[in-house]
């Protein structure tokens, strides 16, 4: 028996065997793909008796009244128990799902009556009943022993893959760190697909998981390609992100050796145009299937809002360790009526539900921190607070030089030193294409169209801003942690 079940499954099997020896009822509940049906069939093989699955119930329903689900189930189970001393029932939750929680079903929860009758009959007659499903059934659970199959560990991955692939020398510790919540179906699909690869490596196995079994909700083909190092003037922010977010997710060897994990709560704070969203773009390309996004397409207050948010969090936990990036979080909470998401995030940041939840980093951006609930951003929940601000003179020079290189000739008369020498708070001397009104210096404006100089003796003057709206292909925004500059009263730009 130990040669056909992985360690987690074997543990549940041993418990069920003991429960059936000392009692009449054993219940096995776990999520799909953990080997629930495999264990149930092994119990049947080991002890004999009768095995019933959902197919036998569907056959029994032929010709029966559609509202007689409970009577049909009761009759099927009682007839089987009359013929055998041990009855193994698989996938009973599929019947329960149809009748217990459907508000349109006129006899909701009536299934408890026939299950209670069956359980009482089993205990009175000394017969044995083993039931497998994805959820517990109260009439059976209170009268017997319940078991489950937890998330697979490294030894379960190794066992199942060795059975399907043979011993290939794969590093299953590394595979498990990358994807700790794979089930048996997913592992089987991966092994079946890769079985013909005679030079299979751990990296190739992980790459298959990344491309086929682990998917972010972000379409990277629609996200501007940008690197964290493209941001100028925010070196301290980049270093913090690299060390406390990216490193634990990318370098599993170091993460395992030193017990590293990404920070659970991260807040990026800064005025518009300082690169907060650009950080999200860079991380999405860097982390790929480990990155999940909640942005303005998730409309607070709509019917599907909470369902969509919950799906993102569940996917992130399945792909943990992972990052959930909530852009403009202050906008979501500014009306003080989004209490549902607020409480949900508190639970996630406290990390009390599961180990996989503690491996999910929630990164939020905000312009106005006062709009965020105080309990959400207190120390212990937000573990890393990063401030984004406007670039200093050196950063402005680097940004300008980078953008000018991509512009056509002639630019001989452009004084690249003029921009960094402008005083703090001066409006941008290069058109960003956003609006025609003067405004304070903002680091979003490095995608400019410089006017060619007519004469080498003519000094360069900045063009007036265009009224054209910013295009979707505009470059990333930049900045660092500084105060927001303002234009002195009465001053305008261009002069």
Question: Tens digits of per-residue pLDDT, 376-410?
Answer: 888 778 888 888 887 777 877 777 777 777 777 76
Return the number of other C-beta atoms located less than 10 Å from residue 483's C-beta.
10
Query: What was the pLDDT predicted at 424?
Result: 56
Helix, strand, or coil (residue 124): helix
Query: What was the pLDDT predicted at 187?
Result: 93
Query: What was the pLDDT predicted at 433?
Result: 30
Surface-to-core class of residue 398, CB atoms within 10 Å of its CB (0-12 exposed, 13-18 middle, 19+ buried): middle
Query: What was the pLDDT predicted at 304?
Result: 76
Helix, strand, or coil (residue 322): strand
Best-predicted range by mean pLDDT (10-24, 227-241, 346-360, 471-485) = 10-24
Give dist(CA 327, CA 305) in Å, integer.
15
Query: What was the pLDDT predicted at 3?
Result: 52
Kindly state the percentage of the chain with pLDDT values over 70.
75
pLDDT (average), residues 450-458: 35
Query: What was the pLDDT predicted at 397?
Result: 77
Q: What does 48-93 look like in DSSP terms, one character per residue?
A: -SEEE-HHHHHHHHTTS-TT-HHHHHHHHHHHHHHH-SEEEEE-TH
Give dist(CA 271, CA 441) in Å, integer.
11
Question: Do residues 7 and 155 touch, judged by C-beta distance below 8 A?
Answer: yes
More confident residue, 351 or 465: 351
| pLDDT tens for each residue of 35-88 | 999 999 999 999 999 999 999 999 999 888 888 889 999 999 999 999 999 999
Give dist(CA 431, CA 418) in Å, integer.
15
C-alpha 95, offset from chain centre: 31
Query: What was the pLDDT predicted at 264?
Result: 81
Query: pLDDT at residue 492 above 50?
Result: no
Query: What was the pLDDT predicted at 413?
Result: 55
More confident residue, 326 or 87: 87
Query: What was the pLDDT predicted at 337?
Result: 65
Mean pLDDT of the chain: 77
Q: Which two tokens stand for residue 34?
A: 């953990």
- For 29, which DSSP code? E
More confident residue, 400 or 475: 400
Return the number of other C-beta atoms located less than 10 Å from residue 442's C-beta.
21
| pLDDT tens for each residue of 190-249 | 999 999 998 999 999 988 887 775 556 566 555 667 777 777 878 888 888 888 888 888
pTM of the model: 0.62
What confidence tier does 427 reach under pLDDT thresholds 50, 70, 90? very low
pLDDT (average), residues 134-155: 91
Query: What was the pLDDT predicted at 381?
Result: 81
Query: What was the pLDDT predicted at 292?
Result: 87
Query: pLDDT at residue 435 above 50?
Result: no
| pLDDT tens for each residue of 111-126 | 899 999 999 999 999 9
145-147 vs 25-29, strand pairing mode: parallel
More confident residue, 296 or 84: 84
Helix, strand, or coil (residue 158): helix
| pLDDT tens for each residue of 267-289 | 999 888 888 888 888 888 888 77
Q: Which two tokens stand for residue 477?
A: 């925004």
Beta bridge partners of 386: 268
């Amino acid at each position: 028996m130990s040669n056909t079940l992985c360690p987690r499954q074997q543990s549940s099997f041993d418990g069920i065997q003991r429960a059936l020896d000392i009692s009449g009822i054993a219940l096995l509940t776990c999520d799909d793909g953990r080997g629930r049906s495999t264990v149930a069939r092994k119990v049947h093989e080991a002890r004999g008796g009768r095995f019933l699955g959902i197919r036998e119930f569907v056959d029994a329903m032929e010709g029966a009244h559609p509202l007689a689900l409970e009577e049909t189930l009761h009759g099927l189970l009682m007839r089987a128990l009359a013929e055998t001393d041990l009855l193994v029932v698989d996938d009973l939750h599929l019947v329960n799902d149809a009748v217990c929680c459907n508000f349109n079903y006129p006899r909701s929860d009536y299934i408890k009556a026939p299950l209670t009758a069956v359980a009482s009959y089993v205990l009175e007659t000394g017969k044995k009943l083993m039931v497998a499903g994805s959820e517990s059934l109260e009439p059976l659970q209170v009268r017997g022993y319940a078991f489950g199959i937890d998330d697979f560990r490294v030894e379960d991955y190794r066992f199942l893959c060795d059975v399907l692939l043979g011993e290939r020398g794969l590093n299953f510790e590394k595979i498990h760190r990358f994807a700790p919540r794979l089930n048996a179906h997913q592992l089987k699909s991966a092994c079946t697909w890769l079985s013909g690869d005679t030079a299979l490596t751990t990296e190739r196995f992980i790459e298959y998981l990344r491309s086929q079994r682990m998917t972010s909700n972000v379409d990277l083909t629609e996200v501007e390609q940008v690197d964290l190092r493209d941001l100028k003037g925010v070196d301290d922010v980049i270093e913090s992100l690299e060390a406390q977010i990216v490193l634990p997710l990318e370098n599993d060897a170091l993460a395992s050796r030193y017990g590293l994990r990404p920070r659970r709560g991260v807040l990026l704070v800064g005025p518009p145009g300082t690169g907060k969203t650009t950080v999200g773009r860079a991380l999405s390309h860097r982390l790929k299937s480990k990155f999940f996004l909640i942005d303005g397409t998730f409309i607070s207050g709509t019917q599907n809002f909470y369902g969509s948010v919950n799906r993102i969090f569940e996917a992130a936990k399945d792909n943990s360790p992972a990052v959930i990036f909530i852009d403009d979080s202050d906008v979501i909470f500014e009306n003080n009526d989004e209490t549902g998401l607020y409480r949900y995030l508190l639970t996630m940041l406290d990390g009390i539900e599961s180990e996989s939840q503690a491996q999910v980093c929630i990164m939020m951006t905000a312009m106005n921190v006062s709009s965020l609930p105080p309990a959400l951003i207190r120390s212990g929940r937000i573990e890393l607070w990063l401030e984004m601000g406007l670039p200093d003179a050196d950063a402005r020079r680097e940004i300008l030089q980078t953008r000018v290189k991509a512009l056509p000739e002639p630019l001989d008369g452009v004084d690249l030193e003029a921009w960094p020498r402008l005083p703090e708070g001066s409006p941008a001397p290069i058109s960003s294409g956003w609006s025609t009104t003067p405004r304070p210096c903002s680091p979003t404006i490095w995608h400019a169209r410089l006017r060619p100089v007519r004469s080498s003796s003519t000094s360069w003057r900045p063009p007036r801003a265009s009224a054209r709206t910013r295009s979707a292909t505009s470059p990333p925004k930049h900045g660092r942690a500084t105060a927001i500059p303002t234009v002195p009263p009465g001053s305008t730009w261009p002069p």
